[in-house]
Structures are given as C-alpha cells and as structure tokens.
Amino acid sequence: MILLIKINCMAKPTTFGKKENEKKKQARRLEKQNRKEERKLSGNTNSFEDMIAYVDENGRITSTPPETNHKKEEINHEEIVISTPRQESPEVRKGRVEYFNVSKGYGFIKDLSGTEKYFFHVSNALSELVENAIVIFDLERGKRGMNAINICISERTAD
C-alpha cells in the first residue's frame, strides 16, 4: 500500500495581506474575463480586414487598397545620371603675416581681401615666415575657428 502525503514545508504561511492580494488578483481576472465575453457577444469585433493599412505610390498610408489597373510610368535606367557635383577650384587666398612669434611657433595672417585674421602654426608653413610677408594660404576648420594651412611666401615687403 502506498501512502501519499502532501507536505507543505517549502511554502511560507500566507498572511492577511497576501490573502487580500490573492482575492484582488482573482477579482481582476474575473472582471477581465467578463469584459472579454461582453465584447464577443456585442459583435463589435475588429476583423483583420479592418486593421489593414495600405501604402500608396507616394508613401502615404491609406485605408483603401491600391488600384490594380494604374498605368505606371516607364523609366529608362540608362537616362539616370549619378555623379558627384563638380568641385569649384579652390580660391587662392592672399594675406599678410600680422604677428609671428618665432619662439612659440605661431602667428596670425590677415586676409588681404577682407578683415579676417587666421591663426597659423609653423608646422603648416611650407617656407620660412617673417612678419609683414605677403603669403598665399588655404583654410581649414580648427577647434577654435578657421586656421591657415599650406602657407607659402608670395612676396616679401621691406620693413
């Protein structure tokens, strides 16, 4: 003869708060079930067809299906041109070395076409620089603004 004994050693005793929570959960489940049955009985169900949305040829979402007899425009793939825009020739900038600190290796160039001053470092100079020299340079965006790079002496002026 086999005896079946149910031992509830692992379960903790339920307190009054836990019993109340269990009752609330059970009541919520029952209420949810009742609402589900009411929806079924009312016949107000959303069918799959009601949930479908269509996207037209322009990317807009509509509720009507697309026309099947719509004539599509033929595109000749050989006429499509894919290219990068032409780059304009870089503008040659001329300026005068306003200030140059030989010991620290930096200075400022004043653009001759405007009033802007640009920072430069001797590492970006292609030849020896002196103050008041007329130079040709390019610009590059630095951390604190535009910096002069590729600096070449165009002509020297007498002090």
Q: Transcribe 61-93 into DSSP letters.
A: EESSPPPTTPPPPP--GGG----PPPPPPPPPE
Q: Tell me, what DSSP letter sits at residue 11?
A: S
Whole-structure pTM value = 0.43
In this structure, are strands 145-155 and 106-111 parallel, antiparallel, or unpaired? unpaired
pLDDT value, residue 12: 59
Q: State pLDDT tens for residues 66-93.
A: 777 667 778 888 888 888 777 676 677 8
**């919520």: which residue's tokens?**
28
| Sequence-distant (≥ 6) Cβ neighbours of residue 129 within 8 angstroms | 97, 100, 107, 122, 135, 151, 153
In angstroms, the CA 117 to CA 96 distance is 9
